[in-house]
Structure 1
């Protein structure tokens, strides 16, 4: 997948930008606060319709404007040009068109224009609670598997309904009606996560070994809230937990409480990894995401690197450049090039107050 051009209107601090990309290595160069990350954010929206910086669309439309619009022109891996049009307000409907046809369901679009973002914000995946890790995993698996997306939607709906019934003290019979659906989706989510995480972990291990010249081994470990072998098993668990769930007004057990752990040298990276090691771990995770999507979708994702290379030590920086997939189009940002004498390998845009000038 290649992004050939982007027209952007009223997005964050960008009034109007029209950019054409000729190369596979594109660098947005400029001081902080000028709009470099905003452009990466806009590129990522084409595939997932969500920002990698925040939840929701609040703040993405330029101040004082009612709507933002963007038009993307891609070249897919079969050599065909594809067009994406996206228009949205801070609150309210999004208008999405692909090749001139309106797309009304997110599930029809996820995975069509994949992009993987590497950002310093990824530290939260190690340091924060399980909610961010689940959100990352759900987006990755939803983008690569319509089956996963459908089960996730079904589970979320059934969970919301059961929680509402618990709050209004519904009967066991009323609860059971939603528990049947909840259990069906829960068991399938557990199974799909159980098979996906070891594959992601293998790729992370390879990338991290390369980043560290094979001096340290890292991996991921699935930490499910429950091991779910059958719908009957989960239905029995829900029945057993109903008295406590009624008191709490929510469903306390299930895949919505799952987690996965980063391990370094077989120890929990949250506790034992240094800041430099954690930087390496999240970069390795994002590279694992790239390779997982490429395999699952038979498409080459874009790579969006938001000011991450300059934060690495010399060894990891040199090894990371070697790890960048040569087949991927890479968009990177920084206040300077990651190292000296790199300007020749990048198609560079100078960024100043929301304007982009080819250097």
Structure 2
């Protein structure tokens, strides 16, 4: 099993960094500095070395330094699953009305997309914006879970995007359902059902494996255990029925629901509406009813279990990006977190405003001061 590690990170015109770099051999990398210094920006830059829009879901243009020419770049030297490699991504300066496209390179050679980075490293992250996950909308929990799936299957994001496009195409055809071409609708619904099955199947398999991992960790972890399930008929049906039967059923549902969906202006059934249900196991209650502190601890336990699952499934111990993760933990829980992270064997990048919050992390950690767009090792 390989633990992916970044040994050098270089940022060019990324957010508040006009140009910055750091070199590290540490398994636990800590970025400390005042609010607004750019600590989260650094983690966000790393997160672009995976498919998708990074941990803030920003547009490509939004992360460019406002004093630059509109371009930006992130480059890393890593020790990954395939050995030493250089991974880079970014955009070129905008040119007229052309569409902005993210460029991705491995060892300075172009690759088709960021999905290719998955052969070298996987990553998992936790940010303060996730603290309200259990209280928020189903769409946020679905996006969160799809991110968990993506760390295991680097093609999952592309399939989810393709399903969204297919659903939008169907919705456009249904705008005038009385005059819609039934052959076109049959074709688009066939495509929609195929993509829906692919998305739901990978979600369902991941949910089952993650639930088992959470059960196994429950008795030994300092963080509370959880029961996890998906509230989606298709994901659950695929655990016991042939995929072809479930696909046929969904295609029939789409055909029979054309009038209803046309009136609603959207497709009212399918995995694009799936929700994630989490139970706080120590009290056998929904996570949304747990206290703020309990929800935070539950999220940390979920991310730790997921990191273990990624390692077992892909044979790559993932990179962990933990933004402000210790801010609201008591000293005992902080020490327990550092111990669990050490046992995981992953390289972990953490941020915090208070250096004292990392006093128990141990001498092997690499601690860097972040301020005014610069990153420097702490003396």
Picking from 68, 85, 88, the partner of 1:85 is 88
Picking from 75, 80, 86, the partner of 2:79 is 75
Match of 2:261 in 1: 245
SS in 1 for 2:257: helix
Q: 1:109 to 1:342 in 2, by over 3 A?
A: closer
Match of 2:274 in 1: 258
Instruction: Measure the CA separation in 2 of the matches of 1:147 and 1:54.
Output: 18
Whether 1:172 and 2:191 are equivalent positions in the alignment is no
Superposition deviation, residue 107 in structure 1: 3.8
Superposition deviation, residue 355 in structure 1: 0.8
Instruction: Measure the CA separation in 1 of the matches of 2:212 and 2:332.
Output: 22
Task: Give runs of aligned pairs for residues 144-223 of structure 1, distance below 5 A.
Answer: 144-145=152-153, 148-149=156-157, 151-169=159-177, 170-207=180-217, 209-212=219-222, 217-223=225-231
Match of 2:8 in 1: 5
Task: Give runs of aligned pairs for residues 223-234 of structure 1, distance below 5 A.
Answer: 223-226=231-234, 227=237, 229=241, 230-234=246-250
Partners of 2:215 and 2:226 within 8 A in 1: yes
Whether 1:40 and 2:43 are equivalent positions in the alignment is yes
Give the CA RMSD over aligned residues. Answer: 2.4
Instruction: Measure the CA separation in 2 of the matches of 1:236 and 1:178.
Output: 13
Greater shift, 227-236 or 61-70, is seen at 227-236
Picking from 313, 320, 324, the partner of 2:337 is 320
Superposition deviation, residue 221 in structure 1: 1.4
Instruction: Measure the CA separation in 2 of the matches of 1:147 and 1:31.
Output: 37
SS in 2 for 1:46: coil
For this pair of structures, how many residues does the alignment match? 355
Greater shift, 220-229 or 34-43, is seen at 220-229
Match of 1:134 in 2: 142
Whether 1:122 and 2:126 are equivalent positions in the alignment is no
Per-residue CA deviation, residues 78-126 of structure 1 (Å, 9 max, x unaligned), is 5x21011212268711111111221123443445321211222222322
Instruction: Measure the CA separation in 2 of the matches of 1:161 and 1:107.
Output: 25
Whether 1:275 and 2:283 are equivalent positions in the alignment is no
Partners of 1:211 and 1:316 within 8 A in 2: no
Partners of 1:303 and 1:330 within 8 A in 2: yes
Instruction: Measure the CA separation in 1 of the matches of 2:148 and 2:38.
Output: 26
Greater shift, 295-304 or 220-229, is seen at 220-229
Superposition deviation, residue 49 in structure 1: 5.0
Superposition deviation, residue 356 in structure 1: 1.1
Match of 1:309 in 2: 326
Superposition deviation, residue 144 in structure 1: 2.1
TM-score, with structure 2 as normaliser: 0.86
Superposition deviation, residue 184 in structure 1: 2.1
TM-score, with structure 1 as normaliser: 0.90
**Which runs of at least 4 in structure 1 moved beyond 6 Å after TM superposition?**
none
Q: 1:35 to 1:160 in 2, by over 3 A?
A: same
Partners of 1:14 and 1:355 within 8 A in 2: yes
Q: 1:334 to 1:132 in 2, by over 3 A?
A: same
Superposition deviation, residue 138 in structure 1: 2.2
Partners of 1:202 and 1:219 within 8 A in 2: no
SS in 2 for 1:344: coil
Q: Which ranges in structure 2 are unaligned for 5 or more consecutive residues?
A: none
Partners of 1:111 and 1:143 within 8 A in 2: no
Superposition deviation, residue 54 in structure 1: 3.0
